Amino acid sequence: MDNTNANIDSLVDQRKFLLQSLRDLDAELKAGDLDLEDYNSLRSDYIARTAQVIKELESPEPNKIPSSFSSTRENTKATKRVRQTLITLLLILIVATGAGWLVAHQSGQRLSGQSLSGGIEDSTASILSRARATNFVDPQAAIELYSQVLGLDPDNVEALTYRAWLLALIARGAGSEIKQLAFFSASSDLERAIKIDASYPDAHCFLGIIRFRLSGDAVGSREQLTICESQNPPAEVKSFVDSIIAEVDAAIAG
C-alpha cells in the first residue's frame, strides 16, 4: 500500500471515529454522563475536526482523491459540490462559531434581556438586514453575514436560527457524512436558540424539519413541529412546515 492510499485509509478511519464520537456525545448527555458545558465544548471540537478530515478527503489535489471519485464526469461534479459545501461548513464551524464563543467567554455571558451597547446593536441590526435580503439569493453569503452577527452577539437568536437553516438547505445535496455533520452543527445552533428564547417559533420549526430531513427522526421532528405550530410562525416559515407535516405523520404511522 502506497503512502497516498495509507493516508486516505487513515482519514477514513478518523472520519468514522469522529462521527461516532458525535453520536456518543448525544447519548452521554441524555444519560447524564456529561454536563452541558463539557458537551458543547467537546461537540464543537469534534465537529471542527470532522470537517477538517472530510475536507482533506475531498481535497482537489489529484494524489489525494480516490480513483472512484474522478472516474466519471458526474462524480467529478458531485465532488465539487461537496467541496463547496465543506468550504461553508469550515467557515461556520472553525472561524465564525469559534469567534462567537470566544467573544462570549471573554466578555462574560450576557444575562437574558440585557441589551448590547448602542454601537454593537446598530452593527448587528445592519448586518441582519443585509442577511435577510440575501437569504435565498446567495445562501453562503447570508451564512457569512449571520456568522458576523454571532461574532458580535453570540446569543442572537435570529442569526443562530437562520444560519442553521441555510446550512441544512445547502447540505441536503451533499453526501451522507456531510449531512450528518451539518445536522450536528445546525441542530446545535437551533437548540441553543431555543434555550435562549423558547418562544421564537422559527427555531422550533426548522429544528423539526432538519430532524426529519437530515436525521430521519420523525418522532423528534413532530415534537418540534407541534411547538412550532402552536407559536404562530411567520407565513413563509409555516409554508415550509405545512409541506412536511404529512410526511412526518405518515412516517410515524407507518
Closest CA relative to residue 87, chosen from 148, 9, 16, 139: 139
Give the per-residue pLDDT at 112: 34
- Are the C-beta atoms of residues 64 and 8 closer than 8 Å to each other? yes
The cell numbers describing 136, all together, are 435565498
> What is the identity of the amino acid at 54?
I
Give the per-residue pLDDT at 49: 81
> What is the identity of the amino acid at 161?
T
The cell numbers describing 102, all together, are 470566544
Give the per-residue pLDDT at 221: 96
Give the per-residue pLDDT at 196: 95
- Per-residue DSSP letter, 231: T
CA pair distance 187, 28, nearest whole angstrom: 17
CA pair distance 139, 151, nearest whole angstrom: 18
Phi first, then psi: give them for residue 175, nearest 5 degrees.
-75, 175
CA pair distance 145, 140, nearest whole angstrom: 9
Give the per-residue pLDDT at 89: 55
- Cα angle vertex 183, ends 178, 185, to 5°? 95
The cell numbers describing 201, all together, are 417559533
Indicate the pTM of the whole model: 0.69
Tell me the chain's radius of gyration from C-alpha atoms: 19
SS3 for 214? coil
Give the per-residue pLDDT at 222: 97
Give the per-residue pLDDT at 67: 37
Residue ranges for the chain with pLDDT beneath 70:
1-4, 58-122, 174
- Per-residue DSSP letter, 98: H
Give the per-residue pLDDT at 45: 79
Give the per-residue pLDDT at 184: 85
Alpha helices in 94-138 (DSSP H): 97-107, 118-134
Q: Which residues of 50-64 are buried (b: 16+ CB within 10 A; e: fewer)?
A: bbbbbbbbbeeeeee
CA 247 to chain centre: 23
Give the per-residue pLDDT at 2: 62
